[in-house]
Amino acid sequence: MTQPTYTNKLSHFFALLKQSLRGDEHDYTKGSLRSAIVLLAIPMILELSLESVFAVVDMYFVSQLPDSKNAMATVGLTESVITLVYTIAIGLSTAATAVVARRIGEKNPEGAAHAGAQSIIIALLVTVLVSIIGVVYAPEILRLMGAKEEVVREGTLFTRIMLGGSVVIILLFLINGIFRGAGDAAMAMRSLWIASIINIFLCPMLIHGYGPFPALGLKGAAIATTIGRGIGVLYQCYYLFGGKRSIKLRLSHFKWDMPVAKTIFGVAWPATFQFFIQSGSWIVLAWLVSTT
């Protein structure tokens, strides 16, 4: 009796694993809670684990440059500052997931789409400010992090491109949060797969100049990473606006709605503050290492 029961449970788990990776539509308000947790958790774990791949890939290929010491210092210090962008993105993503999930649970897909659109508006407004600060004050940011003058001289363009492209970082997290709130965690996972694969392909091409690509050195890593994330966002938008998934956004949803925006902000700021404590400690650690 024990063996068939164990076999059935194992078969059921692998069936759920396949379903979670395929991204089949599923009503999470019905059925087994355990099955729902597995269907949502597996894509989310794979999705979030892929986000760290960007920095690892950049560091790996940049380390092969002739003057790799300054280049790696630039990447490390810039990535530590970008954790603040991640903090904003995660906070907004958490709010979008919570509000969209509530509307989906209420069987109100129009309300879910409207909430998702409002969160995108808020993200774009925040991104404008972050990008302007990053582009204008890139040298000062590196100096503030303890970078030497040669690192500032060689790495300013890399930092400008990365911080100036904050829009793709924030939107990548945010739209994935919208999909997760709608119960479509597999779509969020696939968008990061695509972004990571493109970054892995473009990084060596643009840094070292293989094939038709020019050798751009350190700035090539920033361009490759931004393009990879940007294509991931385009992939998200294709399904977000195309109506082929569980949630569909239309232009009418982007009419400013102050009550909904306040709700999103009210959920976002505690989550942002929570992650800010974590990212702040990482920035302080990077600063200590660079100044000793």
Say what percent of the chain tops pLDDT 70. 84
Ramachandran angles phi, psi of 170, nearest 5°: -65, -45
Residue with tokens 């094939």: 211
Q: How far apart are CA 169 and CA 45, in angstroms?
A: 18
Say what percent of the chain tops pLDDT 90. 36
- Model confidence over 144-157: pLDDT tens digits? 888 888 889 888 99
Structure tokens at 121: 């508006």
Residues with Cβ within 8 Å of residue 76, at least 6 apart in sequence = 59, 286
What is residue 141's three-state secondary structure? helix
DSSP secondary structure code for residue 32 in this structure: -
Alpha-carbon dihedral angle through residues 190, 194, 196, 197, given to the nearest 10 degrees: 130
What average pLDDT does the segment 118-142 reach? Answer: 93
The predicted structure's pLDDT at residue 25: 62
Residue whose C-alpha is closest to residue 241's, from 232, 255, 251, 231: 251
Which of 47-56, 196-205, 271-280 is most confident?
196-205
Look at the alpha carbons of 196, 198, 201, 203 in this order and tell me if their dihedral is positive or negative: negative
- Of 105-119, 213-227, 266-280, least confident by mean pLDDT is 266-280
Query: Under a CB-based contact definition with an 8 Å cutoff, are residues 76 and 157 in contact?
Result: no
- Of 54-68, 104-118, 149-163, 192-206, least confident by mean pLDDT is 54-68
What is the overall mean pLDDT for the chain? 84
Residues with Cβ within 8 Å of residue 59, at least 6 apart in sequence = 72, 75, 76
- Model confidence over 65-82: pLDDT tens digits? 887 888 888 888 888 888
DSSP secondary structure code for residue 24 in this structure: -
The pTM of this model reads: 0.85
Look at the alpha carbons of 54, 55, 60, 61 in this order and tell me if their dihedral is positive or negative: positive
The predicted structure's pLDDT at residue 1: 44
The predicted structure's pLDDT at residue 39: 67
